Structure formats: C-alpha cells, structure tokens
Structure 1
Amino acid sequence: MAAPSMAAALAASLPAPSAAPTPAAPTYEAIPPSMSTLIDVEAEIPLQCVQLDGLVVSKILKHACDSNSSSPIGLLLGIDLDGVLEVSNSFPLPYHSGDDDDKSAKSVGRYQASMLRSLKEVQGDDSIVGFYQASTLGAFFNQNLIDLQAIHREKLRHGGIVVVHDVSQTTRGNASFRAFRLTPAFYDAYKKSNFSTTSLASHQLTFSSILEELPLKIYTNPLLSAFLGEFSTSSSSSSTFALPPSFSVLNLNSDGLTKNLEHIVDSLDNYRNEEGNLAYLSRQIARERAKADNYVAKRKEESAARVAQGLAPLPEEDVTRLFKIPPEPSRLESMLLLGQVDGYAKSLSETTSTGLVKMYAATAGSGV
C-alpha cells in the first residue's frame, strides 16, 4: 500500500471546515424623493448644459499654450447630475509627431489607463465624460475629432461631449469655450459608413448638422472669485492698481485679419480640390454604369431575337463581375472642409466688426 503523499497528510491534519453561515438577504433603503431626480443610472435625464470647473479651464488654457500640436486633445472627467454635466477635472493626452500611428495609439492608450488608475488611487474623479480640443480661428472641424467622438459615443454617458477652445480668442483676452456632441442623424450615417449623396439627403446632413451645441457655463470656487475680485481692485494704501491697465483692446489686430484671410483661402483651395476629385470619380462611375447598361440592353435584344427564332434565350450574367463599378465616394471630407470655411468666416466677421468699431473710435478721437 503506497504511503500517503505529503499534501494529503497535511490536508488530513487540518480541522474540518465548519459550515458557512447562510448570508442574510440584502436590504435596500428607498431613495429619498429629493435625490430621485439626481440619481440617473440609465442616463434617461437629457443633458441641458455643461459646467466646467475653473481648474479645468486653467488646465485647458495651459495645455493649449504649451503644446506643440496645432490641435491638442485631452480627456474630460466628471459626472452628470440632474441634466447638468459637471466637468471637474481633465488631463492632456500626449502628442507624438512623426511616429507610427499604431505605436502612437498604443502609447496614448497606456498613458490614459495609467492616469485613470492613478486618479482612482487618490479617490479623484476617474469617469470620462468627453474630450476637449484646442483650435484656431474657430475652425475645429476635422476627421480626428469626428472619429474620436463617434468611436466613444456608445461607451460614454449621454454619448460624450467635446469642449472646443479657441486659442485665437484667448490671445485677444476672451477665453472661448464651446461644448458640442454628435447628432443622432450623423452618427447613424457614420455607423453605416455611408456619406453618399443619397445618404446625406435622407439624413438631411450638412456641415452644420454634424454637431449640436450645448449651453456651457464656468463654475469657480467662491474663494477664488473673491481673491480675483480683490486682486483686480485698487489697494487701499496705494493709488496704483494691483493689475496694471492694459491697452491691448485698442489694437486693431490687422495681423489677425491677414492670417484669417489666408486660412480661408487655403480652406477654399482644399475644398475646390476635394470637389474636383469627387467630380472625377462621379464621371468615372457614370461611364462604367453606362457601359454596364448598354451591355445589358444589348444582351436583352440578342435574347429576344433568339426567342423569336425559337432558340433558348441567353443565360443571365452577373454584370458586377464584368464591370467594376466603383462605389460612390464619401462626401464627409467635403462637409468638414465646408465647416472649416464657415468657422474661419465667422471668426473673420467677429474680428472685422470689432476692428471697425475701434477704427471709428480712433478716428473720432483724433478729430479726423
């Protein structure tokens, strides 16, 4: 008889495990009526506005100022309460220039996971609610932004949002922040990867219906507001101001107008080239379809003639195998370019209107 093994001997020497007590059924307390509208597990309460914390605003401003990218991107963290999406924190995503797209995406993914894990360890907000992107002169339409929003739409509550910061407005002393999210019509066309003319018409899509804007407000700590108010007022012991007066508002900003016009011209050139490519592809599709239609009509005539002679009709053929008809090209890029032109044009309109007022004021003050 074989000797018992060491593991069996140790197991036999242990005391017999006692029967585990049956766990009591959990009890749940009723949600107070005052909190019933705030707890929205199924995300059924529609978003009414987006609220940015002052810390988030300062972080976005710093990232846009220090980044080497023309369109720096970051993550927004927070929670939605009673129709208000409260964004309490954010952090930038790294920018890799000249790297392979696959390696860059993996690096960004590792960095994002590491940051979220660190925030969770210090009990900070780690729930992603959207993204932010910095732009110039109001032109924020691009393929990267659309793809980022569309990919994460079903993963984030309320589809996620994107906060757009206009850097050019900040240089003029106006911190510009706007909140957007994808419209259901555009997302339906995006899921089907169909941006043909027929699809655009059926979904009633234009560049202005890609994103819908949400009201946005900025929340600051009362202590910070009091400090800024005290800091910007004159001191009681001195007649000088804590913040020196600035005369930048008197700048006519002619350089900005020139740059804005250059961007508009470049965007129009890109749009014209894109429309030229679409027209060429459309003509090529029309030629191939005409060849296929002529071939089918000719086959029908030959088949009718054989039937009239008492012969068997010609067998049916798959025309798609004989004629490679290209699919209708996507018009998404064309719509995005139109959105860029519209953004530059609106920025130019605002800048020129302000410049005209300053010019009239300068003329009136000089007595000319």
Structure 2
Amino acid sequence: MSMSVTITAPSVKHILLDSLVVMKIVKHVDSELHAGISEVSGDACAGVLTGLVFLDDSRLEITNCFPTVRNEPVIDDDANAAAQYEEQKQQEMLDMLRKFRTMNIDYEIVGFYQSHQFGAGFSHDLVESMFDYQAMGPENVVLIYDPIKTRQGQLSLRAWRLSTAALDLASKNDWRPELVKAAGLTYQNMFEELPIIIKSSYLNNVLMSELALSKSYSSEKYSTRHFDLGSKKSLEKSVRAMMANVDELNKSIQSLTKYTIDKQRHDNMVFSMTQKRQQENEARAARGDPPLPMDDIKRQKAPQLQTRNGLLDELLASFDTNALADFSKTVTSENITKLFIAEAVAEEKVQGSKDRTLSSVSSTR
C-alpha cells in the first residue's frame, strides 16, 4: 500500500444518493445472504459506485452501482492463477463501465460499497481499499450497509472516507506510535462520516402517495413488523464482537506498555552514552587528540512495537467497538420504546374487548 501520492483535502461535504442505488445494494446483499454465499466465501458483499462530483455546492451524487465479482479460492497457492483471476475481475469492471458509457449512464467511479453486520467491520483490507479509491480521487467514499438493522425496520447506510491525516499515514504504510501521535490521529478522527440524502424521482413520490391514499392498501398487514422485539440474537452477537475487540485491545495495551517502557529505557541509555561521549571528546580535544565518532551510539537498535501493523489494528478495533456500541445502544433504546408501545396497544385492545363484552351482556338483558 506504500506509494507516493499527493494528499489533497476533499471538498465534498454531503452525498446525494439515488434511490435506485439503495434498492440495488439491498437486493444484492439480501440475495447473497439468502443463498448463503457470504457464509461460504467469508467475504462481504461489495460493489462499485458511479456518479458525479459537483464542486460548486460540495456535493457527491451517486447515481448507479454494480456488484464486483467475488474472489475465488486459489488452489495450492498458485500465484499465476490469482493474478489471472485479478486481471479477469479488472476486465469485467472495465467492461461494465464501458457499457455504462455506451448507455449514457454515469460511469465515473466515485467509491465502493460493502455490507457489514451491525455497521462494523473496519479492517486492514477495508483501509487498503479506501486508500486505493481515495488515491484515484479524493472525493471517493465507501458506503457501509447494515443488513441486520435494515431488517429490523430502519435503513442503515453510512458513508465514510479516510481523514487527511490517516490518508497520509496510509500512503507511507507506517503506523508507528510516534507517527500516529505526531499526526494527532485517534480512532475518532481516523474516519470522516458524510451525511447522506436519498433522492427519489417525482414519479416514485407520486406512486408512494397514491399507495398511501389508496383504500385497497392495507397498512395493518405490515404494521406488526415495526414492533418486532426479536433482536436478542443480533444484540448478543454485537456484544460478543465487542468483547472480542476489547480482549484484543487489552493485549495491545500490554504490548504498547512494554514498548513504552523499552523505548524510555533505550532513550535514556542513548542520552547517557551521548553525554559520556561528549565529555570524552572534550577531554580529548583538551589533550589535542581527535574526537571519537558518534556512529556506534546512533546504531543502537531501537525497540519495536510487537504488532503487525503498528497501531493500525488497535485504531480499527477501537472504531469497530464504537460502531458496535452505537448499534447496541440504538437497538436497546428502540426495543424499550417498542415495548412500551406494544404494552399500550395490548392494554387498549384488552379494554376494548372488555367494553364490548359488557355492552353485549347488557344488551342481552
């Protein structure tokens, strides 16, 4: 991922998302979930977003999308087969963009989308993909779709992009604690979220209005799903994922504490050796002898943080935990509200049935 790129601050402040894109993303994810493809391959549903950038009003308009081909397992670690399959994927993507251009559809790539349960799933691969897309265009974003929350009655689509500081570190592929601290980077400012406005056509708005006013349209048939309280499994999964992330963070804290102690010890040793060498050189200069070099002191090996990607995994785990906590908080508050509404509706139905029973008894008398 390390490459020299010119980091430019993005100017887009909000996203105008076409309703067609929303429907295509939902259909793509649901079809793969029902078919069990995600469980077999282990990859998240992903696709490419196309649209236009309007710099005048700082708007990114996403007008279309299409799914990307899933990675096929490589047998016996065949590097040639993996390279051929990657080339085939790129060719299929270019063919789709060429068809968009022929059909007079917006064919400019403005990002990609992925589905993650509970709105979490920020990994090293996702950061690499975000860096590649933002290196192509600073206005590119990633849409994270949560199928669990959507099935519970609330559409969950959030747009993210790497901040300028995170993009700079990703270009260097160096996430050492010193550089992360110097950049002022935390899990809270590593990603930037953009507000999304979903746009529908006028004909679609007229159709929805006619359905709402139509007498044949029965809303009672679909009203019970909004009072669904069966989110125990999803809440349990999110809490278990949070526990796993917290365990990883505890291990990382131990490694970081050891690294900090070793770094302080190393710095103190280098400082004392430098002071001692300077005193020796002053004494040698007074005697007319040549000074001793400092190269052996500079070659003292500094301690290394015992993690694979520096602080990147810790930042991602913290952000992932924050996303899971937001999901749990939202689901819990919504369930409490639904519970009170369900109790009120049940009491009203019971009271109405009692009144009808009393009235029927009085009429028979």
| Fold equivalence (TM over 0.5) | yes
How much has 1:360 moved relative to structure 2? 3.1
Task: Please provide the CA RMSD for this pair.
Answer: 3.3
Partner of 1:181: 161
| Separation in 1, partners of 2:175, 2:116 | 25
1:263 corresponds to: 241
CA distance in 1 between partners of 2:337 and 2:14 (Å)? 33
How far 1:287 moved relative to its partner?
4.5
For 1:320 and 1:63, locate their aligned partners in 2 and report how far apart those are by CA, in whole Å: 60
| Cα distance in 2, alignment partners of residues 187 and 51 from structure 1 | 24
Q: 1:271 aligns to what SS in structure 2?
A: helix
In structure 1, C-alpha distance between the alignment counterparts of 2:167 and 2:263, rounded to whole Å? 27
Q: Residue type of the partner of 2:228?
A: N
Q: Which residue of 2 aligns with 1:20?
A: none
Q: 2:315: which partner in 1? A: 335
Map of 2:16 onto structure 1: 51
Change beyond 3 A, Cα 1:343–1:45: closer
| Larger relative contact order (Cα-Cα within 8 Å, sequence gap ≥ 6) | 2
Residues 34-49 of structure 1 aligned to structure 2 (within 5 Å): 46-49=11-14
The one-letter code sitting in structure 1 at the alignment partner of 2:218 is F
**Corresponding residue for 2:361?**
none
Q: CA deviation at 1:337?
A: 0.8
Letter aligned with residue 341 of structure 1? T
Whether the 8 Å CA contact 1:137–1:168 is kept in 2: the answer is yes
Could you tell me whether the CA contact under 8 Å between 1:75 and 1:93 is conserved in 2?
yes
1:332-359: CA deviation from partner (whole Å, max 9, x where unpaired): 2211111011111111111111112233
Q: 1:88 to 1:320 in 2, by over 3 A?
A: farther
Change (3 A) 1:171 1:48: same
Q: CA 1:46–1:305 in 2, change beyond 3 Å: closer, same or farther?
A: closer
Query: What one-letter code is carried by the residue in structure 2 that aligns with 1:325?
Result: A
Question: Are the aligned partners of 1:231 and 1:242 in contact in 2 as well (CA < 8 Å)?
Answer: no
Higher deviation after alignment, 193-202 or 55-64: 193-202
Q: Residues of 2 paired with 1:159 and 1:365: CA distance?
A: 48
Answer yes or no: is the 8 Å Cα contact 2:143–2:157 preserved in 1: yes
Distance in 2 of aligned mates of 1:267 and 1:244: 41
- Greater share of helix: 2
Q: Say if 1:140 and 1:164, in contact at 8 Å, map to a contact too.
A: no
- Tell me, yes or no, if the aligned pair for 2:10 and 2:139 is still in contact at 8 Å: no
Work out whether 1:213 is the aligned partner of 2:193: yes
Native 8 Å contact 1:232 1:243 kept in 2:
no
* Structure 1: runs of 5+ lacking an equivalent: 1-42
Residue 239 of structure 2 corresponds to residue 274 of structure 1: no
Alignment-derived partner of residue 133 in structure 1: 114
Cα distance in 2 between the residues matched to 1:291 and 1:251:
63
Residues 306 and 85 from structure 1, CA distance in 2 versus in 1: closer, same or farther, beyond 3 angstroms?
A: closer
Q: Equivalences for 1:1-368 in 2 at 5 Å?
A: 46-67=11-32, 68=38, 69-81=42-54, 82-83=56-57, 84-96=59-71, 98-99=73-74, 103=83, 105-156=86-137, 158-231=138-211, 234-235=214-215, 241=218, 244-252=221-229, 253-297=231-275, 299-300=277-278, 303=281, 310=287, 312=289, 315-319=292-296, 322-326=299-303, 330-364=310-344
Which whole-Å CA distance do the structure 2 matches of 1:195 and 1:44 have between them? 20
Alpha-carbon offset, residue 363 of structure 1: 4.5
Q: Distance in 2 between matches of 1:349 and 1:45?
A: 31
TM-score, normalised on structure 1?
A: 0.75
Q: Tell me, in whole angstroms, the C-alpha distance in 2 between the residues paired with 1:94 and 1:263.
A: 28
1:93-136 alpha-carbon deviations (Å, 9 max, x no partner): 22215446853644432332232223233333211111112222
Any idea what SS the aligned residue of 2:175 has?
A: coil
Secondary structure of 2:340's partner? helix
**Distance in structure 2 (CA, Å) of the matches to 1:146 and 1:137:** 18
Q: Which deviates further from its counterpart, 44-53 or 159-168? A: 44-53
Amino acid at match of 2:289: A
TM-score by length of 2: 0.75
Return the index of the structure with the highest Cα Rg.
Answer: 1
CA distance in 1, matches of 2:226, 2:136: 44
**Contact 1:137–1:260 (CA<8 Å) still a contact in 2?**
yes
In structure 1, how many angstroms separate the alpha carbons of the residues matched to 2:99 and 2:210?
36
Counterpart of 1:14 in structure 2 is none
* 8 Å Cα contact 2:274-2:297 kept in structure 1: no
Aligned to 2:363: none
Which residue of 1 is the match for residue 360 of structure 2?
Answer: none
Amino acid at match of 1:85: L
Distance 1:323 1:262 in 2: 43
**Aligned-residue offset at 1:265:** 0.8
**Counterpart residue identity of residue 247, structure 1:** T
Distance in 2, Cα, partners of 1:282 & 1:90? 46
Give the Cα–Cα distance (whole angstroms) in 2 for the partners of residues 45 and 251 of structure 1.
41
CA displacement, residues 168-213 of structure 1 (integer Å, 9 cap, x when unaligned): 2111121111222222232233334443444334433221212222
Question: What amino acid maps onto 1:96 in structure 2?
Answer: N
